[in-house]
Structure formats: C-alpha cells, structure tokens
Amino acid sequence: MTATPLLEVRGINKSFGPVQVLRDVDFAIYPGEVTALVGDNGAGKSTLVKCLSGIHPIDSGEYYFDGNPVTVHSPRDAASLGVEIVYQDLALCDNLDVVQNMFLGRERRNGIVLDEVTMEQLASETLTSLSVRTVTSVRQLVASLSGGQRQTVAIAKAVLWNSKVVILDEPTAALGVAQTANVLELLRRLADTGHAVVLISHNMNDVFAVSDRIAAMYLGRMAAQVKATDVTHAQVVELITAGRSGELGLAPSGTESVNGVES
Amino acid sequence: MSAVASATQPSSEIEQRPASLSTYTRNYAARVRGGDMGSLPAVLGLIVLCLGFGIARPVFFSTINFANLFTQAAAITAIAMGLVFVLLLGEIDLSAGFASGVCAAVLAVLLTKHHAPWYVAILAALVTGVVIGVLIGFLVTKVGIPSFVVTLAGFLAFQGVLLLLVESGKNIPVTDPAIMAINATGKLPPAVGWALLVVAVAGFTAAQLVRRRNRAGRGLAADPLSVVAVRVGTLAVIGGAAVYVLNLERSINPIAASVRGVPVIVLILGLIAVLWTFVLNRTAYGRHVYAVGGNREAARRAGINVDRIRISVFVIGSTMAAVGGIIAASRANSVDPNTGGSTVLLYAVGAAVIGGTSLFGGKGRIVDAVLGGAVMAVIENGMGLMGVDAGIKYAFTGGVLLLAAGVDALSRRRAAAAGLR
C-alpha cells in the first residue's frame, strides 16, 4: 500500500438547489488497490463519482491528484489527469467493432486517413495486457458480444488511455455468475498493474471478493473508509443502512438526520 | 502469410482470424444467415430483373439500351448517395428531390438568362445545395424539429421556389455543351475507357496489397492472397465486360454518326462514389457518422460534436441532390417545374434502401446507392420497354421498395436474434 493517495478529495460539498447531496465528504483512492464505494440508493455515490469526473462542479472542498491540489471543471480535465469512468450503460456503439469503439472520438490518424493498423494493434495489446480471453476477435461488432464481453471492452477502452484511475459504476449489475467472476478478475488485474480502481456496487459478495478498501456512504456523508480485511460483511451492511457500526462510522449524536433514521 | 502473423506476435491472446478463401466464404454465409445480407438482395434482384426483362424484350440487352441504363440511373444514384449519409443517422430528407430541382433551376437560369460560364453555374448550383443543407441541418439540430417535418416542409417550399425560378411552367433550355456532355453527349474515346479501367484495377490492386502488407507487417490478420485475387478479378471482369460493351458501336446509323465509348457520367459517378466511400470508411469523420447513427449518447460521451455531424450529413445530402439536379438537367437538356419532382425522391430513397442501407440508422454504404440506383433504372427501363401503363410501373416500383424495406426490417430482427446488430 502506498502512503499518499493517488486521488483524494477533502470536505466536498455539493447541493442541487435546496437539496444538499454531499456533506463534507472525504474520499481517498490508492494506486494498486480496488476501493469499493458502497451505500444505499440516494446515498450520494453517483454524485460523488460525477464530481470526481468533472461532470458536476463541486460547491466547496479540495481535490488532490498525486498529492497536488488540482481543479476539475469538466470531464476533459478529469480525463487529462487520467481519470476514466465506465458507465453503467456502457456507452458503446453496437454497429461498430471492438477496435472502433475503443478508439471512438480519439482515433489515430495518418494525415486524414485513419490508422487502422496501429489502432487494431494497440487494442489487441491492451486486451492482451489485461489477459482478456473472452473477446476472440477485435474486429467483432460489439452487437455480437455478451454483457460480460461488453463490460470488458468498456473497461479496456478506459485502460487504453493511460488512465490512472478507473471508476466503474455497477459493472456487474446486469451480469451472470461466470461473467461477473470474469469482470471482477479483470478489476483485480487492473489494480495489480498499478491502477487505482473504484468499484461502485450493491453486491457485498463482489465487494468482498475484490476490494482492498471499502468506503461506505450514508445520506450524503462518508460513513467510513476502512480496509476490507478489518471489517465483516455485517459491519458493512450496518454502515450502509445505519451510517455506523460499533466504533466505526458517523458519531451517534452527529446530526439530526442520522439520529432520525437510526431510531 | 498467417504463419508470419502468428510468428511475429506469438504472445497474443487474441485469436488471429484464420485466413483462407474457404473460411471467408463460410464466414460470409454465416453472416448472411444471421441477417447481415449486405448487398446480396440488391445483386440478386438486379440479376433476376435483368434476366426477366431480357427474356421478355430481347432489346433490353442491346448495347444502346445498356448505355441508356447508366444515363437513366445517374441522377437518382447521385441523390441516393447523399441520402445514405442522412439515413446513416436514422434521419430522412424528403426534400432532396425538389432541392435537386431548385439547384438545377439555379444552374439553368444562370446559364440561359445570365449567360454565365458553365463552371460558375455548376458552382452556384452546388452552393445552393450547401445552403439548403445548412438550413435543414440547423432546423433539425439546433431548433429541434424532426427531420421528417422539416424536409416535408422543404418538399413543398422547394417546389414553390422551383416554380418561381422557372416562372410558372416555362421550360428553361440548357444547351451549354459542357453541361450537355455530363450526362447526354459525353462519351470517352474507347482507348481512354480501357486506360481508365486499367488505372482503376491497378489502383484497387495496389491499395489492397499495401493494406495487406501493412497489416501482415505488424502481425495482424491479413486477407489471404486468394481473397484479394477474387476481389481484383471480379472488378476486372465486370469492368472489362462493361467497357467492352460500351465501346461497341451503338448508333443506329454508324456512317452518319458514330456513337461508342463509356458515357462520361460513369466516370463522374465513379469518382464521386470512390470519394464518399473513402470519407465513410477511412476518415475519422466517417467513423463518427456511423457512431452517431449507432448510439448518439455514446458518441457524445466520446467527445464527438454530434450536432456538427448531424448538420454535415444534411449538407452532404443536399449537395449530392444538387449534383443529381445538374445531371438531370444535362440529360433532359432543360429544367422545368417537374425537375426533381414526381418519383425522383422516392426512387432515390428506394435506391438507398434496396441497396441495403437501413432506415433505422447506423448501417449503410455508398455502394448501396449505386446498386439500388441500378435496380431502379432497370425497373424503369424494362417497364418502359414492355410498354406497360405508368400505373402498373408505379405500383410495381412501390412493391419493390416495400419489399426492400421489409427485408431491412426482417434482417434487423434476425440480426438482433443472432447478435449481429
């Protein structure tokens, strides 16, 4: 484990009109680790991720990348830092093949002509480096791929751009057992190659199978960020549903909202 | 060559496509069964129609009629090429027919009333097409009116503009020799026809071989030589036969006036088709057109300027309509209030769809417009030779269009089941 986080935010606040969605959220992501971001519906996971990726500007708070303070105003800023997001709905074009999708919007060219050879080679190398065996041909149309294969392509697309942080929004939600295992294995390999991986998931089995750290959100706050080996399944569920579990989590008399729900 | 491919990249986990002619044939058959039929229905339809008309009216196969087919198909094919771009985004341009009429009228008015040189008139017609396309694209993209409605309004409005330009029902003659050469009088000398065919085949072969060497050199699966040979051979045989037939004497009275050689329009349309095919397949712009047609949201997230792509396809659509209008004016030697009217638009949309371009967006090629345009011309020509009623002709053409759209919809369903789309 590295001492300094690759990406860290401190005291993030975010409101949509009168609704405060994030309150003083601290969140740190380390290279070489899978950090699971868990929380109930509406806890603020997606908003936090969108703030990290520059889709939503933050109201207040600090954003550090590699220990240096940075400002992220747009997805382009985040992408130039090396933060890539794999969305739940994947954002792939069915009528294009694997290579074309992986390079979409960032095609390699020779003059005005597309450099198909280089793109195909890089796509193959990326898939190979992730030890992907499920995608047999990089010239297959994405339409012909299964859900797990699509997820693999979406992840490989994020990796292709020398990304340092890869954030995945419920990558296994729509997958079967075997495909889920494949994707989780891929996340593990991604972390092992030095990426900082964030996994948003509702599935405790997935979370414990793959993550090094678990960050639990509760009603717009970061309830706790702990090592996966330090907590039990039941403790994480308590953190998600009540915001605290024994010593862990938000202070019992912290705010009215926590108390209100806890009773 | 597959041995080289696997030797240079032995560690690759990605399976290299096995390279042999038989595998290619098998893969193609599998794709067709899976619903991805490409140009197969159009090619089969073309063969069936030609044989049918040829048997019913042997004059169908005469050299003069063969040359006629090209001049008949030209205007519709040009418009259809532009419509392929529009259809690729799942949009429609119903105004393309009368837009071509308006552009032709601009050409004719400049030539005949203002005695402008032919190149100025052609440029003005093309610019008119660009302006129309920008207008439609702006209304669809920035204002947000569905393209069906915008272009339906354009269909009516451009008909009105055309009437105003030709001053209610008069016929503007187009007698400029350069314009007439485009699709009426222009023939390439037989030797030039052969020379161009040699250049085309050699260029195609070189392109294929270079591509193959680049891929093999980097350890990627390359097409086997046998497949390249079949492609080159097919082009050479079909092109050779066509040039041979077109170079035969087709004048009724050869002593008075000899008529032989490849029509100039074949060269013009060939160059345009190569240009647009290159744009769609080999440039980032073309890739983005397919991406926006396949999944607009994915394209937006990939950083593609979706609005700019959407406007650009309407510009290409209307500009190609202008090209179609110029070709039509050349063939008719005149522009009248019905230029680009009646069946022109439906034939052009039909040509693109019959060729295999999907009305649902994301799937289509320029060669679709060429093949579909040929089918349309053969129907028009053959029905004309049979001397059937206009009523029967329209009903039959409508049926063919419906059949093509049905094949598109069904093959889409089948492809969805087979996971190809």
pLDDT digits (tens, 9 = 90+) for A135-147: 778 888 888 888 8
When divided into structural domains, chain B yields a total of 1
Question: And the tokens for B363?
Answer: 């799937």
Q: What are residue A12's DSSP bridge partners?
A: A25
Name every chain A residue with its beta carbon within 8 A of the beta carbon of B302: 91, 104-106
Tell me the pLDDT band of B419, cut-offs 50, 70 and 90: low
Name every chain A residue with its beta carbon within 8 A of the beta carbon of B9: 124
Identify the closest residue of chain A to B219 by CA–CA distance: A121
Task: Determine the structural domain holding residue B380 and report its residue range.
Answer: 39-186+263-411
- Sorted by sequence, the CB contacts under 8 Å of residue B216 that are 6+ apart come out as B1, B4, B5, B222
Instruction: Measure CB to CB from residue B284 to each of A87, A114, A133 and give the nearest one.
Output: A114
Predicted local distance difference test score (pLDDT) of residue A260:
37
d(CA B158, CA B139): 16
Is B253's Cβ below 8 Å from some Cβ in A?
Answer: no
Is A110's Cβ below 8 Å from some Cβ in B?
Answer: no
Tell me the pLDDT band of B232, cut-offs 50, 70 and 90: very high
Q: What percent of chain A has pLDDT over 90?
A: 14
Q: What amino acid is encoded at A2 in this protein? A: T
Measured between CA atoms, how close is A194 to chain B, in angstroms? 21
Write phi, then psi, for A59 (nearest 5 degrees): -75, -45
Please, which contacts does B19-24 make with residues 24 or more away whose CB atoms are closer than 8 Å? B19/B221, B19/B222, B19/B223, B19/B224, B19/B227, B20/B224, B20/B226, B21/B224, B21/B226, B21/B227, B21/B230, B24/B224, B24/B227
Name every chain B residue with its beta carbon within 8 A of the beta carbon of A128: 11-14
Is B420's Cβ below 8 Å from some Cβ in A?
Answer: yes
| Cα Rg of chain A (Å, integer) | 19
Write phi, then psi, for A28 (nearest 5 degrees): -130, 140
The verdict on residue B369 lying in a domain is: yes
Residue B11 has pLDDT above 60, yes or no: no
The verdict on residue B209 lying in a domain is: no
Cβ atoms within 10 Å, residue A15: 13
Beta-carbon separation of B290 and A93 below 8 A: yes
Quick check: A54 and A7 in contact, CB under 8 A?
no
- Using alpha carbons, list the distances in angstroms from residue B342 to B98, B110, B319, B338: 9, 24, 20, 7
Name every chain B residue with its beta carbon within 8 A of the beta carbon of A143: 415, 419-421
Instruction: Measure CB to CB from residue B14 to each of A96, A112, A127 and give the nearest one.
Output: A127
Residue ranges and CATH numbers for the domains of chain A are 7-82+164-262 (3.40.50.300), 94-163 (no CATH)
Predicted local distance difference test score (pLDDT) of residue B194:
93
Mean pLDDT on A170-192: 84
Predicted local distance difference test score (pLDDT) of residue B9:
38
Identify the closest residue of chain B to A117 by CA–CA distance: B215
Residue B4 has pLDDT above 50, yes or no: no
Instruction: Please provide the distance, in angstroms rounded to a whole number, between the alpha carbons at the two ends of chain B.
Output: 31
Instruction: Measure CB to CB from residue A143 to each of B283, B297, B420 and give the nearest one.
Output: B420
pLDDT digits (tens, 9 = 90+) for B325-354: 999 999 988 888 888 887 899 899 999 998
DSSP assignment of B285-318 equals HHHHHHHHHH-HHHHHHTT--HHHHHHHHHHHHH
pLDDT digits (tens, 9 = 90+) for A243-254: 888 777 777 654
3-state secondary structure A92-158: CCCCCEHHHHHCCCCCCEECCEECHHHHHHHHHHHHHHCCCCCCCCCCCEHHHCCHHHHHHHHHHHH
DSSP assignment of A154-177 equals HHHHHHHTT-SEEEEESTTTT--H
Interfacial B residues in 400-419 facing A (CB < 8 Å): 415, 418-419
Mean pLDDT on B60-65: 86
- Within 13 Å, how many C-alpha atoms sit on residue B374's CB side? 22
The verdict on residue B159 lying in a domain is: yes
Predicted local distance difference test score (pLDDT) of residue B12:
39
Name every chain A residue with its beta carbon within 8 A of the beta carbon of B297: 89, 91
Identify the closest residue of chain B to A138 by CA–CA distance: B14
Cβ atoms within 10 Å, residue B190: 16
Tell me the pLDDT band of B14, cut-offs 50, 70 and 90: very low
d(CA B321, CA A135): 43
Measured between CA atoms, how close is A91 to chain B, in angstroms? 4
Q: What percent of chain B has pLDDT over 90?
A: 45
Least confident of A162-166, B188-192, B253-257: B253-257
Instruction: Measure CB to CB from residue B298 to each of A93, A114, A133 and give the nearest one.
Output: A93
Length of chain A: 263
Q: Which candidate, B277, B317, B307, places its Cα nearest to that of B130?
A: B317
Predicted local distance difference test score (pLDDT) of residue B74:
93
Is B169's Cβ below 8 Å from some Cβ in A?
Answer: no
Name every chain B residue with its beta carbon within 8 A of the beta carbon of A94: 294-295, 362, 421
Is B290's Cβ below 8 Å from some Cβ in A?
Answer: yes
Q: Is B24 left (phi over 0), alpha (psi -120 to 50) or beta?
A: alpha
| Candidates A90, A94, A99, A104, partner chain B, best to mutate (most B CBs within 10 A) | A104
Measured between CA atoms, how close is B219 to chain A, in angstroms? 8
Using CB atoms within 10 Å of the CB of residue B16, give its burial: 0 to 12 exposed, 13 to 18 middle, 19+ buried.
middle
Domain CATH number, residue B73: 1.10.3470
Mean pLDDT on A27-48: 90
A19 SS3 class:
strand
Is B295's Cβ below 8 Å from some Cβ in A?
Answer: yes
Residue B420 has pLDDT above 80, yes or no: no
Most confident of A169-183, A240-254, B38-52, B75-89: B75-89
Quote the ipTM score. Answer: 0.81
Tell me the pLDDT band of B34, cut-offs 50, 70 and 90: low
Predicted local distance difference test score (pLDDT) of residue A163:
84
Contacts across the A-B interface (CB distance below 8 Å): 102
Is A192's Cβ below 8 Å from some Cβ in B?
Answer: no
Residue B15 has pLDDT above 60, yes or no: no
Taking all residues of chain B, what is their mean pLDDT, rounded to a whole number? 86
Residue A117 has pLDDT above 90, yes or no: no
- Within 13 Å, how many C-alpha atoms sit on residue B414's CB side? 14
Predicted local distance difference test score (pLDDT) of residue B3:
38
Measured between CA atoms, how close is A37 to chain B, in angstroms? 23
Predicted local distance difference test score (pLDDT) of residue A4:
82
Q: What are residue B73's DSSP bridge partners?
A: none
The verdict on residue B118 lying in a domain is: yes
Strands B334-335, B172-173: pairing kind: antiparallel
Residue matched to tokens 């593609």: B304
DSSP state letter for A86: E
The verdict on residue B200 lying in a domain is: no
Is A156's Cβ below 8 Å from some Cβ in B?
Answer: no
pLDDT digits (tens, 9 = 90+) for B107-154: 999 998 888 899 999 999 999 999 999 999 999 999 999 999 999 999
Cβ atoms within 10 Å, residue B175: 10
The verdict on residue B33 lying in a domain is: no
Residue A180 has pLDDT above 60, yes or no: yes
Strands A60-65, A68-69: pairing kind: antiparallel
Q: What percent of chain B has pLDDT over 70?
A: 93
Mean pLDDT on A63-85: 86
Predicted local distance difference test score (pLDDT) of residue B283:
93
Is A232's Cβ below 8 Å from some Cβ in B?
Answer: no
Q: Where are the beta strands (DSSP E) in B218-264?
A: none
Residue B216 has pLDDT above 70, yes or no: yes
